[in-house]
Amino acid sequence: MAENYQFETRCIHGDGGFVEGHPYGAVSVPIFQTATFAHPGIGKSTGYDYSRESNPTRYELESVMSSLEGADDSIACATGMAAIGICLELFGEGSHILCTEDLYGGTVRMFESIGEVYVIDNKQMIAGGALSGCGPAFVYMFIEALADGAVLNGLPRDLAYKLASQTVLGSAKMVKETQLHPGILKDQVCSPGGITIQGVKALEENNFRNAVMEAIDRSKK
């Protein structure tokens, strides 16, 4: 039923699961101000222990935000700095972060101190998220496929994975450092009548480009 709710309804009720069967018939989530929660027994928890960790009100807020954004999960923070701190904990050196153009400038500068930041239009966030969020899975499949091809021709699998990974890493580094169009770099590797262009022909015959484009397109829906 929740999937049929309009946006305005989900802003208030989320997916509607929390208040169903509420003992007092509440139609919206009550504000829980308690600091601690009773347990039904030793070692048994209702899912809530201390409000500083979580409570039903905050959980419902997170659920509503997830519903509105189409996200798997959300985390509500007491302050903006707390939210920024969580983000910084998730990313390591060399990471890249997508953020909307209306993000606070100080936050962008803080993100830039640990990695690359790309500020994009709000309307482009879905496509950008599909590329950056789902893209790694497609790259992993490509690495696996490269290795499988090498194994097919007699290379040990562990070595095949190492070579395939390094090939993708080196190629990505070339694109970033040279700032050349990927097509130009591809052409530089393909000798006239050589074996590389034969492999490119095989990829084109099997709709490689279209398959990748379709994967991104479906990932944003």
Question: For 110-135, what is each residue's pLDDT tens digit?
Answer: 777 766 777 778 788 888 888 888 89
Q: If residue 151 lies in a helix (H) or strand (E), which one and from where to where?
A: helix 135-152
Tokens of 200: 């490119």
Looking at the fold, whether 91 and 107 belong to one and the same domain comes out as: yes
pLDDT computed for residue 24 by the predictor: 63
Looking at the fold, whether 113 and 135 belong to one and the same domain comes out as: no
Running DSSP on this structure, what letter comes out for residue 27? S
Looking at the fold, whether 68 and 31 belong to one and the same domain comes out as: yes
Residue ending a domain, among 63, 90, 120, is 120
Contact 30, 57 (CB under 8 A): yes
Nearest to 117 by CA among 127, 130, 132: 132
How does residue 18 score in pLDDT terms, banded at 50, 70 and 90? low
The total domain count for the chain is 3
Instruction: Please state, rounded to an integer, the average pLDDT across all residues of the chain.
Output: 84
Looking at the fold, whether 17 and 65 belong to one and the same domain comes out as: yes
- Of 23 and 61, which is predicted with more confidence? 61
pLDDT digits (tens, 9 = 90+) for 37-73: 888 888 888 778 888 778 888 888 888 888 887 788 8
Tell me how far apart the alpha carbons of residues 71 and 6 are, in angstroms, rounded to a whole number: 17
Looking at the fold, whether 135 and 115 belong to one and the same domain comes out as: no
Question: From start to end of the chain, where are the E strands?
Answer: 96-100, 116-120
Residues 6+ apart with CB under 8 A from 192: none
Looking at the fold, whether 60 and 4 belong to one and the same domain comes out as: yes
Range of the domain at 203: 127-219
- Of 200 and 36, which is predicted with more confidence? 200
- Per the listing, tokens 């997830």 go with 66
Running DSSP on this structure, what letter comes out for residue 20? T
Tell me how crowded residue 8 is: count the other CB atoms within 10 A of its CB: 8
Looking at the fold, whether 87 and 52 belong to one and the same domain comes out as: no
Looking at the fold, whether 132 and 205 belong to one and the same domain comes out as: yes
- Rounded to two decimals, what is the model's pTM? 0.59
Looking at the fold, whether 57 and 110 belong to one and the same domain comes out as: no
Tell me how far apart the alpha carbons of residues 137 and 133 are, in angstroms, rounded to a whole number: 8
Looking at the fold, whether 200 and 173 belong to one and the same domain comes out as: yes
- Of 170 and 72, which is predicted with more confidence? 170
- Per the listing, tokens 């021709």 go with 153
